[in-house]
Structure 1
Amino acid sequence: MFSVRMRAEKNKKHISGAENLVEKTKIQTIVSGLVDRALSHEKGEPDLINITVETLKIPIKKVTSLPLILTNVENETEGKKLARKLLLELGIPALCIEKSISLLEKGPAIGENMRGAIIMDLKGNRLETDKVRGIRVSRMDITEEAANELFNALSVSGLSSYFTNISEALILATKVESVKGTIAELCWSDDPSYTAGYVASQKMGYIRIPHLKKKGDPFGGRVFFVNNIDHGKYITEMEQTPVLVTKFRGIIELFGKK
């Protein structure tokens, strides 16, 4: 198996990224698709596309996805209210919640989006070594069977058009929450046209919130709330251990939850 990863940027600013775990026979097809994706991103045509193809040297960790929980909010104010409530229920201090939301609203990398994620402890300290790059969760994918289960479930819920967004986020959140020391994750997209985000945890699952920012807002990112981690081991597992989602745990709809 190989890890195939794409990163695209323009004027040294991150535009998009994606990755897959694939067999040798599928490498060319996957690479072509990733290049097409980089060239057609809503943030514009990149001036640099980096493709990495690497043999997996660490055994693949096979996992079941977090359950996907759908919520319904009318706007970003309601969405952030719900996110705050969920994070408080998960034991994240209010100070950390407000700091993380503020960072994602304003651009956590000195007013710009980060390529990776923020790591925040329960005192509100940022633990990532590089405050611009952040921590890059990498080497992950979903099996075709599990992806089909997810697509069919999203189709029933009227969300099949968001399959790529939801699938990639669910895979990432599932890996993040499988790593010891992670309590929860807060994320919303930095794509201007996509307003959705989520709160994820082993305790509650992947809770999708359709509005966590206004349409057209170019800022977003993700924050991992952690406790008692071995910093080096934590980052190594996030960035190096390959994870394959082999089963989709299903959808729960919580319409009207505020």
Structure 2
Amino acid sequence: MSKFPVGTWVSPKSQTLRGIVRGHKANLTMVCWLGRKKAQTCSTKILRKTSPPRAMILEGSLDNDLASQRSEENLLRTWLEAEGVPVAYKNVHALSDISILARGLAKNRPPFVHIACHGDYDEHRRPYIVFAPKPTKKDLIYLDDPETQRVFSDAFSGLPIFFAACLLGKYQMQLETFKSGANLADVAGFTRVVYDSEAMIFELLLYQGVLINGWNFGMAVNKACDAMMVMNVLGAKGKAQKLARVL
């Protein structure tokens, strides 16, 4: 019997790198390391069992007050903790909060950063997100702003970002500009307006793909989109298009 069953999270004994076991071949173990696109083979002897990576969820104010009834926290905590996944669930209300919270990442980097907030494009097709309750124009955080890209790069360079926000994935070029400017591994966002219920189903599928199935972030996003189409989940206008875009 193999030392590490498929689906086990492992680390090299002398490193903090984490990966999920995908299979075995003789004395070798196939591991899909976080941040890598494909599984790699390595000696089983150098591996040790470890906990799953910590999920990091940042949630803006989804209502016009500070006690949002639309929070995803209860659902996501229940599912993630049932799977033994540690959770860092933090509220954010301004861009500066990103810089402060990122100090706590240390060596326990998440598989991706999950940001739940409102999003849209202005009349000039500039993408923006909103963290603040009762936002005004000055509260709009534009993703093409060099300062926004600097903050995200300093905090999350090399990590994938999932924006659980309406419409941010609608236009490819703008998302690519943000990804490049912020030095991110991947960026994903919904392509249309989404209901809370369908967003939460999608998110559970995404976490299932990354943390249980061991898929890379891009594959997990696309597989979640496919599953939503098969389930024919009732959604807002634009159901014919793919629910999310990943770059």
After TM superposition, is the score higher than 0.5?
A: no
Structure with larger RCO (C-alpha < 8 A, sep 6+):
1
Tell me the TM-score normalised to structure 1 length: 0.27
- Which structure is higher in strand share? 1
Query: What TM-score, normalized to structure 2?
Result: 0.28
Which protein is bigger by CA-based radius of gyration? 2
